[in-house]
Amino acid sequence: MPHLSTASRRTVLGGALATGLLAAMAPGSLAARNAQARPAGQETMIGVPFERHETVRVGVIGVGNRGNSMTIGWSAVPGATVVAVCDIRKDRATNMAANLQNRGRPRPADFGGTADAYKTMLNTMDLDLVFIATPWEFHHAQGKAAMEAGAHVMVELPVATELAELWDLVDTSERTRKHLMLAENCSYGRNELAMLKMAHEGVFGDVTNGHGGYLHDLRDLLFADGYYTDDWRRKWHTRSTASFYAMHGLAPIAAAMDINRGDRMKTLSATATPPKGLADYRARKVPKGHRSWNEEYINGDLVTCMIGTEKGRIIRAEHDVSTPRPYSRINSLAGSRGLFEDYAGGGSTGARVYLEPEHGGHNWADFAPSRGKFDHWLWRKVGDDAAANGGHGGMDYILQWRTIQSMRTGIIPDIDVYDSAAWCAPVPLSVMSLADGGRAVDIPDFTRGGWVRPRVGLDSVELDMPPVA
């Protein structure tokens, strides 16, 4: 196995932003990179199925807030076994191993204690799937290493924060023939999947615009001691202004518009409001002398990206974790014959529709009947298990169940490296656009031309999970 280089967290944190700024100031080099032909020895990963696995051996890097619940979820999926866990804090990994054993699962090997401990895990364990739930700045390096170690990879949001890193992950996936998938659980939301099926059926007519985002008041957690290890997430707000985490709202809209499956995101222009929210919260609620008083927050409270597609559609993606508001991913889609709006209150689904010819008179209709008609088979088949085994209303488990099913049956993943890169591209591109006064910047075509052809994605053929021997 190749010896992997060492990188301290400080170096990575400092380097990531610098790299992004340099890229932003060199549009010519970016354009050149975007136009670069596929390197020799690489082929597209579009349409490439997983090889069949009787049992999927899962390794987890990062068992903190997110990794903890997801590891338990992986272990509950039929045909998946968590065989290794790793955390920079060794005690977390050891505790997780014991936790799984107490639940009646095979005890996984545990690694940790250093920033490079994950490399030891990758070098010594035979893993089919690696799940990465570490701070954002480590995702690129760990994702790349896992693919080079011979495993398919699922990475928490975002898979990378720099354009060069996104391209690198695409190239690595194509070179190693291993899939890299964004752990976009919201793509498997019940409302989101029904909206997707309705869009494909033509219920909204010709879809022309969609709106999504991540609007989640995280102020309490951002300032809570110990919740985010070493305050990693709050510190991102001191480094740059960017749409860090809009993928949860962007991805379902992109899927409904067949992005990378007949259309593609082409341009992005960003706006940002002043950074008031975190400072105002600190002034009112954080004692003087707290280490956060040494920080200056520069990330705009609300960063909005307007994305234009090749077919002329628009997607609005918002990001706001700094101001008080009820949670919302917006999740709205509209076309020539109607629209869908989530987080609209009322009804059992929380969503509403207005569809021709059924509806009229400027009266919204409850989404429940439409969702019943277009309910995705995953929720009909796995919904009950999801509620019992997964967080976020069951979306987490649906994501995990479907991923393991895809690997065990040997089919094409619902989410591929091109989807992952495209959905995460607004992170660095919003920086670039904001640095240029909000002007539109080009969004790379990570598929290198493969986006033009239609292909099935999340609106999948119903399939059973193979029985476990």
DSSP-assigned beta bridge partners for residue 334? 209, 339
| Of 58, 77, 53, nearest in space to 398 by CA | 77
**Could you tell me if 451 and 445 are in contact, meaning their C-beta atoms sit under 8 angstroms apart?**
yes
Taking CB under 8 A as the criterion, the residue among 140, 197, 234, 282 binding another protein is 197
**Segment interacting with another protein, rule: CB under 8 A, options 24-32, 92-100, 169-177, 335-343:** 335-343
**Could you tell me if 199 and 339 are in contact, meaning their C-beta atoms sit under 8 angstroms apart?**
no
- Tell the smallest beta-carbon distance from residue 366 to another protein (Å): 15
Rounded CA-CA distance 238/242 in Å is 11
Pick out residues in 145-174 that bind another protein (CB under 8 A): none
- The sheet carrying 441-442 orders its strands as 365-366, 352-355, 338-341, 332-335, 207-215, 314-320, 303-309, 265-272, 441-442
- Tell the smallest beta-carbon distance from residue 412 to another protein (Å): 12
Taking CB under 8 A as the criterion, the residue among 38, 177, 235, 337 binding another protein is 337
Is there binding between residue 361 and another protein (CB under 8 A)?
A: yes
Judged by CB under 8 A, the number of residues near another protein is 32
DSSP-assigned beta bridge partners for residue 81? 57
- The sheet carrying 56-61 orders its strands as 109-112, 80-87, 56-61, 129-132, 152-155, 180-182
Taking CB under 8 A as the criterion, the residue among 51, 230, 358, 384 binding another protein is 358
Q: State which residue, 27 or 360, has the beta carbon closest to another protein.
A: 360
Judge residue 254's burial from the number of C-beta atoms within 10 Å of its C-beta, 0-12 exposed, 13-18 middle, 19 or more buried: buried
Is there binding between residue 91 and another protein (CB under 8 A)?
A: no
Q: State which residue, 165 or 258, has the beta carbon closest to another protein.
A: 258
- Tell the smallest beta-carbon distance from residue 195 to another protein (Å): 13
Rounded CA-CA distance 46/432 in Å is 28
Q: Compute the Cα dihedral for 394, 396, 399, 400 and give only its sign.
A: negative
Q: What is the dihedral of CA 148, 149, 153, 155, to 10 degrees?
A: -80
**For strand 303-309 and strand 129-132, is the pairing parallel, antiparallel, or unpaired?**
unpaired
Pick out residues in 199-238 that bind another protein (CB under 8 A): 199-202, 204-207
Structure tokens of 266? Answer: 């082409």
Residues 6+ apart with CB under 8 A from 93: 63, 85, 86, 87, 110, 111, 112
Residues 13-42: x where in contact with another protein by CB under 8 A, - otherwise, as a string: ------------------------------
Q: Which residues of 304-332 are buried (b: 16+ CB within 10 A; e: fewer)?
A: bbbbbbbeebebbbbbbbbbeeeebbbbb
**Could you tell me if 140 and 160 are in contact, meaning their C-beta atoms sit under 8 angstroms apart?**
yes
Taking CB under 8 A as the criterion, the residue among 128, 165, 231, 258 binding another protein is 258
**Could you tell me if 84 and 109 are in contact, meaning their C-beta atoms sit under 8 angstroms apart?**
yes
- Tell the smallest beta-carbon distance from residue 249 to another protein (Å): 21
- Tell the smallest beta-carbon distance from residue 337 to another protein (Å): 7
**Segment interacting with another protein, rule: CB under 8 A, options 196-204, 222-230, 293-301, 440-448:** 196-204
Q: State which residue, 126 or 356, has the beta carbon closest to another protein.
A: 356
Rounded CA-CA distance 11/1 in Å is 24
- In DSSP notation, 289-307 reads TSGGGG----S-SSEEEEE
For residue 158, say if its preceding peptide bond is cis, omega within 30 degrees of 0: yes
Rounded CA-CA distance 334/31 in Å is 32
Q: State which residue, 119 or 197, has the beta carbon closest to another protein.
A: 197
Residues 369-398: x where in contact with another protein by CB under 8 A, - otherwise, as a string: ----xx------------------------
**Segment interacting with another protein, rule: CB under 8 A, options 53-61, 108-116, 354-362, 438-446:** 354-362
316: left (phi over 0), alpha (psi -120 to 50) or beta: beta
- Tell the smallest beta-carbon distance from residue 200 to another protein (Å): 4
Pick out residues in 434-463 that bind another protein (CB under 8 A): 452-456, 459-461
Is there binding between residue 261 and another protein (CB under 8 A)?
A: yes
Q: State which residue, 287 or 361, has the beta carbon closest to another protein.
A: 361
- Tell the smallest beta-carbon distance from residue 398 to another protein (Å): 17
Q: State which residue, 204 or 281, has the beta carbon closest to another protein.
A: 204
Q: State which residue, 14 or 454, has the beta carbon closest to another protein.
A: 454
Q: What is the dihedral of CA 43, 48, 51, 57, to 10 degrees?
A: 90
**Segment interacting with another protein, rule: CB under 8 A, options 131-139, 220-228, 245-253, 357-365:** 357-365
- Tell the smallest beta-carbon distance from residue 444 to another protein (Å): 20
- Tell the smallest beta-carbon distance from residue 262 to another protein (Å): 4
Q: State which residue, 200 or 237, has the beta carbon closest to another protein.
A: 200
**Segment interacting with another protein, rule: CB under 8 A, options 76-84, 111-119, 193-201, 442-450:** 193-201
Residues at the contact surface with another protein, assessed by CB under 8 A: 197, 199-202, 204-207, 258, 261-263, 335-337, 356-358, 360-361, 363, 373-374, 452-456, 459-461
